[in-house]
Chain A
């Protein structure tokens, strides 16, 4: 004990304080841009390369863990400080009412690069008033994941193109599912859960809950809401659903044990499936989805109004998301490109062992090109939650008509809030 320890203690304090202050570099022109994203939301290697590309910029990249959206909203509510650049997920539409809290990227020159990106993806970041609050990172084109071996045992086609030909519509897909379950002694279910079917059918549509005036269109005949509901109910009544909620441990186990023969999901399900079901490696294939191509998920970058360096931020974003770097990000962490040129890159045609040597990139690329531009409206997630909750009750025995009425009643109440 004694004085030495006290000295060491004070020394440490001084060291911490000095090191805490020394983060400002000697370059007086250097601008520090703070970036918020989540793990695997952006390619870390590219973020590190920003400093080389822009000598005047120091990037302070922060991975925000936990509930990213809540943390972002708390920061926005506080009004001051916060990051310069921030990543959004597909809940970007929830921020449209607060569009004035972000820079309009069109004013910073985004028009020039608009033709380089998939139009439907680009439009997700543009408010109905024509302000662009967020620019594309990656996309989530959807397709049918299926077990080639199980399809073969059941006498169904196994080649992706044949599968798509026979199961082009959801009705045909369900019919094939009935055959599959019968041939396999009802030990395998066609697909995972009722909410997944509902969400995926809506993901293929361009009219779901709202038009661009934010009026509710769910009851119109051209909206996909009722169609998706009816098809999901039909699948449930035909007994084609395993009731395993997506990406739960239950789902992982069912996939790995071969209890589920197929599901429609976005390209990012690939990684989840590979981690969840290592025992089924080589047995999966991917085909164009029944009902058409759709998009599910995918993220964005925006610049907060509190930022002092909007121009620099936009330049950094533009560079990070240019077609060339999108290919890099796809190679590094499987972020599926949103830039059309990147979709043509040779890496998209690489064969994958988990999918029995199929190059699934070709399927997803095709899907990505055919997604219809949709408008989700700021309350999409709330409404979708209400409907899928009722659907889940249906899958466990609730009368579908009662459930539909309950869902509509609750939706209308929600719209008045």
Chain B
């Protein structure tokens, strides 16, 4: 038990080995098809590939954005690795990621499970309702949340005083800022992940549940023995996408507490740090280096998550 059902792919007949000459003539033969798909590749080359390569080049330069670039060796990277603010930004980002992703994916799973249950009515309505935050303007959301978490005149503190609690200066504490940012992420992404989980749930064949029922399995047993293992690839997908998204969090803290990340830099995430160094402090070469540092971090972190989620399922 526990091993997900997999439809093994039919092994394809391997492509006949082609020589170079044959390949180019193949391309020529299909030039119309290649032309048809070329717009994407051209746009990607200009707006995707070139900036990536250029930022790699830039990360070894010293450049204020206007004047001449001068070669800076690995100094940008050295500065990054020795700058306490960079590591603070990394720490903040990881904390916000943990605060937001775990509750978010858990509630998404619960929401998906409920939406999939047969006793819920108006399912389409709820599906749309849960998904709606995801298409709301991020800046607008951040502004609304900033009034909710405002130190002295916020909605949350108003409710606190109504029920007899002391108001909390949310945005004057590192944890308060991180909590507020995490809330925004959760609010925005639960519905999105729930819809993905829902698709996964619906793809689990009902015969499995019926068989389990006949064997006398309880609801909890079938959740852990059937639903979870079958959902594992989907969970992996959501964990990786939320890792990538969570590492790049920017707008929420920027609108909430400003370019410095607020009090004690509690909301200073890696991208906010990158933005501040490049566009406020005019170190564009350094900003590129931070971008590449972030790339390495995300890659490592995704790998780690992948291993973890993969390993956990073997019961």
Chain A: residues with CB nearer than 8 A to chain B?
Answer: 67, 70, 73-74, 76-77, 94-95, 97-98, 101, 243-245, 249-250, 253-254, 257, 259, 381-382, 385, 389, 392-393, 396, 398, 410, 413, 417
Contact = CB atoms under 8 A, between A and B. Distances in A.
B65 A392 contact: no
Nearest to A254: B152
Contacts of A95: 66
B66 A101 contact: yes
Interface stretch (B130-138, B258-266, B302-310): B258-266
A250 B150 contact: yes
B279 A76 contact: no
Given A250-B151, A253-B153, A254-B152, A381 B172 contact: no
Interface stretch (B16-24, B217-225, B280-288, B293-301): B280-288
Contacts of B146: 249
Nearest to A98: B66
B31 to A, nearest CB: 31
Contacts of A410: 85
B66 A389 contact: no
Most chain B CB neighbours (cut-off 10 Å) among A67, A76, A396: A396
Given A67-B279, A101-B66, A382-B281, A389 B265 contact: yes
Nearest to A70: B279
B153 A396 contact: no
Contacts of B152: 244, 250, 253-254, 259
Contacts of A398: 264
Given A249-B153, A382-B281, 12 more contacts: A70-B279, A77-B65, A97-B66, A101-B66, A243-B151, A244-B151, A244-B152, A257-B153, A381-B281, A385-B260, A392-B263, A410-B85
A257 B151 CA distance: 14
Contact of A385 (B65, B150, B280): B280
B283 A77 contact: no
Decide if the interface of chain A is mainly helix, strand, loop or mixed: helix
A244 B265 CA distance: 16
The 3 closest A-B pairs by CB, nearest first: A98-B66, A253-B153, A76-B66
A410 B265 CA distance: 15
Nearest to A67: B279
A352 B66 CA distance: 44
Contacts of A77: 65-66
Interface of B: 64-67, 79, 83, 85, 146-147, 150-153, 169, 171-172, 258, 260, 263-265, 279-283, 286
B65 A76 contact: yes
23 contacts: A70-B279, A73-B66, A73-B282, A76-B66, A77-B65, A77-B66, A98-B64, A98-B66, A98-B67, A101-B66, A243-B151, A249-B146, A249-B150, A250-B150, A250-B171, A254-B152, A257-B153, A259-B152, A389-B260, A392-B263, A392-B264, A393-B264, A413-B79
B13 to A, nearest CB: 49
Contacts of A70: 279
B184 to A, nearest CB: 17
A396 B279 CA distance: 28
A250 B280 contact: no
Contacts of A393: 263-264
A97 B260 contact: no
Contact of B282 (A94, A244, A245, A392): A94
A67 B171 CA distance: 24
